[in-house]
Amino acid sequence: MATPQIDLTATIDTTVFMTVMIMATLILLFLATYSWRYRANHSAIPFIGLMVLSAGWSLSSSLILLSTEESTKIVLQLVQYSFSILIPVMALLTVIFYIDPSRKPTYRLCLSVFILPIVNMIILITNGYHQLFFTEYVFSSNDGSLVLTNGFGPVFYSTAIYSYLAIIASTALLVRHMGQVKGIYRRRDIMVAVGIALPFIGDASLMVGITPGPGMSFAPVLLIFMGVILMFAMFRYHLFDITPIARSVVWDNTPDPSFLIDGSGRVLDANRAACEVIGIDAKAFNGASANDLFASEPGLIGLLSKAPPGKVEIELGKEGFRRFFDAHTIAMKDKAGMSMGTLLYMRDITDHKNLETAIQHKALRYRSLLDNIPLPLALIDRNDGSFVYLNPEMDKLLQGEHEQLLKTKVTDHLVTLDDIKVLSSRLVDEGAVNDFETLVKSKGDKSIWAYLAAIPITVDDQDYMLLLIRDISDRKMAESLKAANKKLSLISGITRHDLLNRFTVVGSYIQLLEGVEDKERQTKILLKLEKNTQSIMELIEFAKDYEQLGVKAPVWQNVGTVFERATIQLDLTGIDIKTEQRPLNVFADTMLEKVFYNLLENSLRHGGRVKSISLRYEPKDDGTLQMVYEDDGEGISFEDKKNLFKQGMGRNTGQGMFLTKEILQITGISIEEHGEPGRGVRFLMTVPKGMFYFRDEDGLAK
């Protein structure tokens, strides 16, 4: 702040005055250094600037008193006034970001408040050319000390007016903010306002002729009080730790009781709901120890003593009006990751607890009957799908601990999540559902085919669903075995016919070889014998594989794991294998690994110079999913595509792709080839809706 200096009779010893200013400088620099740790907070940066500028103001004032040369005093005075020009503007910015920490600094804002002070600084520095700031420099002696006084020009007075307007604006913003906050935040606002205003009150005293001595001002002296007050605000009220954002709207009107606790375990604030449930006035919370406040709730004390986040169920309230809560803690950190305190909030679960109790009381009357029903039975909350009751048969079906299963939802055990929506919709439309066929998951990703029967029931205005499950896995298995046996009978005849043909050819070549003496011709015949022998071995291997087709029940399999097992059986050196990382599980025959083995072998044998092989997944809008197998080899000609999956129609035995198609068809998976000749193969394996699911990072089905 630019001010005229008026020399009156000295009232304070110069040495004492300088000592005080140096102490103020050190305190202000300490505050600036300490505040740097909160630089992620927008309000901390202008505060740091304010402290540094104030320290410069104080230090330059002390150096002026020390100086004994006229030229040095003039230079130091220019430095002092440069600091004083910027301080009010920096104070205004500090207040702006302090009361609205969500506001981000912008070039437009900074330019609008700094443009005039910067111009005034330029005029000050170049004063020797125009005398618009100081019209004259007057030196005099006072008790042997060299004293500098000035005559002031128009720019000095405009600078003074602008500076005081900035301080008035800062004070007005703080006063308005005080009316929007309560308790500890209001007290903190008062301390910030007093701390910032003190030096400028001292500066104003100079205007009316009150000074501590010749060439001195109370303003730098009062900087030490500003430093002490702001230091107290920082350490006692955590100036940059926790800031009330839209408190009156969000905080007080939040229905969940909430408490703001600092790192020392003191309750800084509590919302209206918290005051009501604890039965204490809001003023009693401010600064109170959380341990003392919640002494009757050891579970809550234990929760607060742990590193958040955490959760515990507690009971609070006056006798006769006790309510149940789920208490949660959240660690509050700044953008730099430093801890600022803990938010404790409580979710009222009294109605839910009462409902559970009511259901349990009514269920006791029928529990014996339900427990002895020979079919798996469950009672399900239709609002969130959670289990309320499971009979012993349902525990056996889902293969889990009873208490753990009660914490799950019906959607956790249905392979197709849309099934629960369809089931609920039919309950509304039809009133009851019978023989709803679906896949049910049990422990370890095992699945069974089942019929679901459901009826809606209402207990105390709460909607539930009574669910019965009938295991039809044996019937499904019988159907699969019947279809597989039919295919086996057919393929057995075809395989015997092919083997007889191959053996006839081998016998003919052997007879022919006996009468041939030419070695070159013998070599050709031996090569043909080797090729036919290899074909016989492949036919036998095919028969062995096909014999296993459909013998075991289909299971849920991780596609990535199965594909990886197939790749290690072949020499894929020099080929880039790309597999999608999403954890896909499909319901398929146990010979799924043979499918990928055949595709990989097909790429190696017929693809030419294959450099890349990939497997990826593409969910479709109709609820199906395509597993896409591609390579960059020669591809398959349009002529060969026609008979690609027919038995006995390939380049060798013609069994590999036929077997691939048969394995997939066990669970309704189709396969087609859509690659372009010369650009590689592209096999599309379409998995029906309900026969696949992904698992997220927590291992839950999606």
- pLDDT of amino acid 240: 57
Torsion of CA 518, 520, 521, 525, to 10 degrees: 130
Query: What is the DSSP secondary structure assignment for residue 460, as one 8-state letter?
Result: T
pLDDT given at position 110 = 81
Q: Is 91 a residue whose pLDDT tops 90?
A: no
**Which residues, 6 or more positions from 67, have their beta carbon under 8 angstroms from its beta carbon?**
73, 76, 146
Length of the chain: 702
Q: Which candidate, 391, 469, 413, 395, places its Cα nearest to that of 436?
A: 469
Pairing label, strands 555-558, 447-459: unpaired
Q: Is residue 687 within a helix (H) or strand (E), and if so which, with residue range?
A: strand 682-687
8-state DSSP, 414:
B
**CA–CA dist 6, 210 (Å, integer):** 8
Q: How confident is the model at residue 3 (pLDDT cuts 50, 70, 90)?
A: very low
- Please tell me the distance from the alpha carbon of residue 177 to that of residue 324, in angstroms, as a whole number: 36
Cβ neighbours around 561 below 10 Å, total: 12
Question: What pLDDT shows up at residue 112?
Answer: 84
pLDDT digits (tens, 9 = 90+) for 187-235: 777 887 887 777 777 666 666 556 666 556 666 667 667 767 766 766 5
Question: What is the residue-wise DSSP string for 505-528?
Answer: HHHHHHHHHHT---HHHHHHHHHH
Asked if the model's pLDDT at residue 627 lies above 70, the reply is: yes
Q: Mean pLDDT over residues 392-408, rounded? A: 82
Residue type, 469: I
Q: How confident is the prediction for the chain on average, in pLDDT?
A: 76
Dihedral over Cα of 35, 41, 47, 49: its sign: positive
Instruction: State the pLDDT at residue 536.
Output: 63
pLDDT at 322: 72
CB atoms within 10 A of CB 493: 10
- Whole-model pTM? 0.38
Residue given tokens 């009938």 in the structure block:
470
Burial of 383 from C-beta contacts in 10 A (0-12 / 13-18 / 19+): exposed
Phi, psi dihedrals of residue 616, rounded to the nearest 5°: -140, 170
Distance of CA 245 to CAs 242, 458, 648, Å?
Answer: 9, 44, 75
| Minimum mean pLDDT range among 40-44, 455-459, 624-628 | 40-44
- Residue 632 pLDDT more than 90? yes
Q: Are 650 and 567 in contact, with CB atoms under 8 Å apart?
A: no
Residue 256 pLDDT class (50, 70, 90 cuts): confident
In this structure, are residues 466 and 437 in contact, taking their beta carbons and an 8 Å threshold?
A: no
* 612-619 and 576-579 beta bridge pairing: parallel
- C-alpha dist (Å) from residue 348 to 256, 554, 669: 7, 46, 49
pLDDT at 66: 79
The DSSP H or E segment spanning 387 is strand 387-390
Closest of 87, 94, 35, 33 to residue 56, by C-alpha? 87
Q: Are 190 and 178 in contact (CB under 8 A)?
A: yes
Bridge partners, residue 671, by sequence: 685
CA nearest 680: which of 613, 586, 625?
613
pLDDT tens sequence across 298-355? 766 776 766 556 777 777 766 666 778 888 888 877 656 677 778 888 888 888 777 7
Under 8 Å between Cβ of 377 and 393 = yes
Cα 485 from Cα 491, distance rounded (Å): 10
CA–CA dist 142, 8 (Å, integer): 10
User: Is the CA virtual torsion 186, 189, 195, 198 positive or negative?
Assistant: negative
Contact 106, 93 (CB under 8 A): no
What is the distance between the terminal CA atoms of the chain, rounded to a whole angstrom?
65
pLDDT at 538 over 70: no
Mean pLDDT of 241-247: 48
Other beta carbons less than 10 A from residue 601's beta carbon: 14
The residue with greater pLDDT, 674 or 66, is 674
Q: What is the pLDDT of residue 577?
A: 92
pLDDT at 224: 67
Contact 84, 2 (CB under 8 A): yes
Give the span between the Cα atoms of 457 and 467, in whole angstroms. 11
pLDDT-based confidence at residue 680 (cuts at 50, 70, 90): very high
pLDDT at 611: 93
- With b for 16 or more beta-carbon neighbours within 10 A and e for fewer, the 519-534 pattern comes to eeeeeeeeebbeebee
H or E element in which residue 355 lies: helix 350-371
Which one has a higher pLDDT value, 351 or 631? 631
How many CB atoms neighbour CB 382 within 10 A? 19
Token pair recorded at residue 239: 């100036």
Query: How much is the average pLDDT of 618-637?
Result: 92
CA dist., res. 313 & res. 615, Å (int): 47
Residue 386 has pLDDT above 80, yes or no: yes
- What gap in Å lies between CA 98 and CA 452, rounded to an integer? 61
Burial class (CB in 10 A: 0-12, 13-18, 19+), 372: exposed
- pLDDT, residue 114, reads 86
- What is the average per-residue pLDDT within 578-599? 87
CB neighbour list of residue 342: distance below 8 Å, 6 or more residues apart: 260, 261, 304, 308, 329, 330, 331, 332
User: In the predicted model, is pLDDT for residue 163 greater than 50?
Assistant: yes
pLDDT, residue 626, reads: 95
CB atoms within 10 A of CB 447: 21
- Assign 687 a pLDDT band (cuts: 50, 70, 90): very high
State the average pLDDT over residues 68-72.
84
Spatial neighbors of 305 by CB under 8 A, at least 6 apart, are none
